[in-house]
Amino acid sequence: MIKEVVFDIDDTLYDYEKGHALGVERMAEYAEKELGIAKAYFRSEYKRMNEELKVRLGKDDAATHSRSIRLQNLLEQWGKPLFPHVEKLYHLYWDALLAESKAEPGSIEAIRTLRKMGIGVGIGTDMTFWMQYQKLERFGFAPYITHMVTSQEAGHEKPHPEFMALCVKKAGCKPEEMVFVGDTFKKDVAGSAKAGMHPVWYRAKEKVLPEQTDLKPEDYKIIRHFDELVPYVKSLV
């Protein structure tokens, strides 16, 4: 019997890529107007800084997701004033993303049904906790969440075993009594499978299966709409 279902957030409970693109565009517009930085150059440099910080900080550090750290480093490299521009760019990005994004179709209904069934609903997400809290509240998930793990709290990003172990600890049940739902195969599916949970790969965007994986198709469930989730959870008796 399943006692807990854990969800990834970005590109699982809402469409991250669409909101992210708009957020970057709003920052690029500001940079061109206020800092004299061409929009195309800003976009390419912002992406480059993301990769640079992953090398410097390590891919397993939640700080790599910090937009303010990326922006601060860019402005330092360009010789531009940090104040007030880092804060303004930061808020332009997140305000645009939150305004543009909305919950994936059927996701809130599925989570509400799980709670009515007496099943706990957890969150297992990379990134820092504050903005993830904002997303859950903005998109309507907050009232149904019983546990939450971020990479900032765990000290590791998915699929690290300690991240998954903290999810299990907070759920207060055995891994085999848990389902983990996410869009990223390596982080969400393979990571939760290795921890002993039942992985669900949310493939609304038809993401490609990695060429190298030890998992067989029968080791995980694929869903393309949240209408498929509750029947699957009920089948795990």
What percent of the chain has a predicted confidence (pLDDT) above 90? 89
Range 86-104 average pLDDT: 97
pLDDT digits (tens, 9 = 90+) for 2-22: 999 999 999 999 999 999 999
112: nearest Cα among 148, 137, 140, 134: 140
Distance CA 122, CA 145 (A): 6
- The full set of domain ranges for the chain reads 4-14+103-235, 17-100
Q: Work out the pLDDT band at 81, boundaries 50, 70, 90.
A: very high
DSSP 56-124: HH-TT-GGGG-HHHHHHHHHHHHT---TTHHHHHHHHHHHHHHHH--BPTTHHHHHHHHHHTT-EEEEE
Q: Work out the pLDDT band at 60, boundaries 50, 70, 90.
A: confident
pLDDT digits (tens, 9 = 90+) for 128-152: 899 999 999 999 999 999 999 999 9
- The residue behind tokens 């998930």 is 141
pLDDT digits (tens, 9 = 90+) for 184-219: 999 999 999 999 999 999 997 767 777 678 899 999
CATH 3.40.50.1000 assigned to 4-14+103-235: yes
For residue 2, give the DSSP letter. -
The whole model's pTM is what? 0.95
Distance CA 148, CA 39 (A): 37
Range 153-164 average pLDDT: 96
